[in-house]
Chain A
Amino acid sequence: MANVSIIPSGDFKTSYGTDTTIFPTVTSRNFAILGVVLLLACPAFLDRYWLSLLIQIGYLGIAALGLNILVGFTGQISIGHSAFFGFGAFASAWLSNRWGIPVVLAIPLAGVMTTAIGLVFGMPAARLKGLYLAIATLAAQYILQDFFARADWFTGGTNGMIAEPLTLFGFAFDTDERYFYVVLVAMVIMYLLGTNLMRTRDGRALVAVRDHYLSAEIMGINLTKYRTMSFGISAFYAGIGGALYAHYLQFVSVEGFTIVFSIQFLGMIIIGGLGSIMGTLMGTAFMVLLPEVMQMASKLVSGTAIDAALNLKDNIAFLREMSVGLVIILFLVFEPDGLAHRWKQIKAYWKLYPFSH
């Protein structure tokens, strides 16, 4: 049964090994590899604008995966993810500017520093749950934001911080075409790590904590350890994502990492599907492309009655802001399991076609 290329109609797994493969079937693995190969070829035929969108999806997707491990897999709530993202960005810039550490090393180191901060703010998480935890992370968001504005030595204060472009053996990744590969490599590594994590004992413990933490505790899972660990992992991912962001824009400003950004992260994982790794990527893509689609839609209707009625030219910014909230609400009401679930249903429909009932 090792070489099934399509999912059989029953569950014929005979060992734990086959149940916890990274990809459920050989076909899905091949498709994933094909996807990466196609992405490798992207800079050859996509223009700079689309590349920048893909890069955005990449680094935001990494950070969002961290949040999904925390929220979707462990069932903790965090409303302060963008602060960790920002901390990673500043940490990486600071490490390379102040200490002259090469950017290639600064990015993972920034991840480690952010993990430390995440563990500090994760400490209340060991004792709190649900709403109290949500509010504690809200406080973390404001405290870190205040720290960014205050710590001139770390963030450059109101001037912001210049971040060096990533250089490897004298080759500078300073254009979109080049940086695209950096983000792609980082993303593939981080997503494989994430998928692998969920196959390990620790990953299953996280899921157990989410599903029923009392049962998990009775079965010998150390709640404090795993809740804190989950915060650490999530902060690590956010830090890596933030560091990639910093060296992409080569400038980090203090203002960006607000609660609205945190909410966008939450939006990504909800739209994509809580507790789904591929879904995280879909949700991120959705969130990044939403403003672009709205821009296009507004161009399509420009000059018509709708345009005149809404005064789109001046109000598109508000509409975009609103659409983020609206999309989150609509998804929660109509598709609480997100795009990943919808994708599964589409696959199931075609698999069973024409006898889908």
Chain B
Amino acid sequence: MTLLFQLLVNGLIVGALYGVVAMSFVLIYKASRIVNFAQGEFLLIGAWTCWWLLTSWQLPFWIGFPITLVFMLIFGVVLQVVVLRPMIGEPIISVIMVTIGLSIVFQAAMKWMFGVFAKPFPQIFASPTMDIFGLQVQTVYVVSLAISILIMAGFGWFFKYSRLGLAMRATAFDQQVAQSLGISVRQMFAMSWAISAMVSAVAGVTVGVVNGVSSALSFFGIKVFPAVILGGLDSVIGAVLGGLIVGVLENLAHYLDSQWLNWGNMYEIAPFYVLIAILMVKPYGLFGTKDIERV
């Protein structure tokens, strides 16, 4: 029973991270209708940058981390302007393939620069584990959960009250109307990529601190898809919920598997079965808006 409970808690914590990544994925999709297959590589690049600053430059975490975020902000803008802007108006397959191509390039580049082996982050917290309700939980996990909730709340505030967030929502709703109201659609596209890259980097660093940094991090970008489909591609709240569900689900599947079924590898694969099942029943995800087409 303790094992199950422990797994559920783990699932929630990892799920919250999935939720954060899914949210930044949905952000890009909503703003610019681009499915970003390189989302996982954003995590990877963020984590490696932070790792490099912390180890090679011996910066303390509270300086290195903000620098990483600034770097990711610039990185997101540059990426959008240089690679994605020429793709506006191209068919979906081209846009998807460009992001897939980016993900290959980034992954190879990261392996080239930092090697293929997982590297641990330097110690950041004084005590590695904490005691919560009798459960041994890694401090990083608790902090990451807090960070995830903070990011989600931040997103909520940003899109509800801030000027920029409202402008971005307007752009997502109708680009022409937004433009005629004086919103620079180009800037909004760039901003959405920048914010997405930044938020992903936060998740990347968190996972990196727990598991060490390696190219396995980019698998988060793939895991995001079940989460996003669960929630519907264009629903931010759906993305968060989807992330939580996927996190809990894969741990539950793992539990069932290790206790009774012994099939192995269910942890990785269960979300994909669920994904197919959901798409069979609800082709636009659980919370996605249904496309109504007029002839």
Residue numbers of A with Cβ under 8 A of B are: 71, 75, 77, 79, 123-124, 127-128, 130-132, 134-136, 138-140, 142-143, 146, 149-150, 214, 218, 259-260, 263, 266-267, 270, 274, 315, 318-319, 321-322, 324-326, 328-329, 332-333, 336
Bound complex: CA of A75 vs CA of B98, how far in Å? 17
B86 touches A324 (CB 8 A): no
Q: Which residues of A contact B295 (CB under 8 A)?
A: 214, 218
Bound complex: CA of A333 vs CA of B86, how far in Å? 7
Q: Which residues of A contact B228 (CB under 8 A)?
A: 135
**Given A132-B283, A149-B265, A333-B275 contact (CB < 8 Å):** no
B105 touches A326 (CB 8 A): yes
A139 touches B265 (CB 8 A): no
Judged by a CB distance under 8 angstroms, whether B90 is at the interface is: yes
Q: Which residues of B contact A134 (CB under 8 A)?
A: 35, 92, 96
Judged by a CB distance under 8 angstroms, whether B87 is at the interface is: yes
**Given A130-B92, A325-B102, A332-B97 contact (CB < 8 Å):** yes
Q: Give the shortest distance, in Å, between A286 (CB) and chain B (any CB).
A: 15
Most buried by A among B96, B101, B229, B273: B101
Bound complex: CA of A333 vs CA of B279, how far in Å? 32
A325 touches B263 (CB 8 A): no
Q: Which residues of B contact A319 (CB under 8 A)?
A: 108, 112
Given contacts A135-B228, A139-B272, 11 further A-B contacts (CB under 8 A): A124-B279, A127-B283, A130-B92, A138-B272, A139-B275, A146-B265, A146-B268, A266-B100, A270-B94, A329-B83, A329-B98
Contact sample, A vs B, 9 pairs, CB 8 Å cutoff:
A127-B280, A132-B233, A135-B35, A136-B279, A143-B272, A318-B109, A319-B112, A325-B100, A329-B102
Q: How large is the interface on B (under 10, 10 to 19, 20 to 34, 35 or more residues)?
A: 35 or more
Judged by a CB distance under 8 angstroms, whether B131 is at the interface is: no
The 8 nearest A-B residue pairs measured at CB: A325-B104, A328-B101, A322-B108, A321-B108, A325-B105, A318-B112, A139-B272, A329-B101
Q: Which residues of A contact B112 (CB under 8 A)?
A: 315, 318-319, 322
Q: Give the shortest distance, in Å, between A91 (CB) and chain B (any CB).
A: 21
A325 touches B273 (CB 8 A): no
B86 touches A138 (CB 8 A): no
- Name B's interface SS: helix
Q: From the candidates B93, B229, B263, name the one contacting A71 in the complex (CB within 8 A).
A: B93
Q: Which residues of B contact A218 (CB under 8 A)?
A: 295
Q: Give the shortest distance, in Å, between A211 (CB) and chain B (any CB).
A: 11
Q: Give the shortest distance, in Å, between B34 (CB) and chain A (any CB).
A: 10
A332 touches B263 (CB 8 A): no
Judged by a CB distance under 8 angstroms, whether B226 is at the interface is: yes
Q: Which residues of B contact A329 (CB under 8 A)?
A: 83, 98, 101-102, 105
Bound complex: CA of A301 vs CA of B98, how far in Å? 30
Q: Which residues of B contact A270 (CB under 8 A)?
A: 93-94, 97
Q: From the candidates B108, B111, B279, name the one contacting A128 in the complex (CB within 8 A).
A: B279
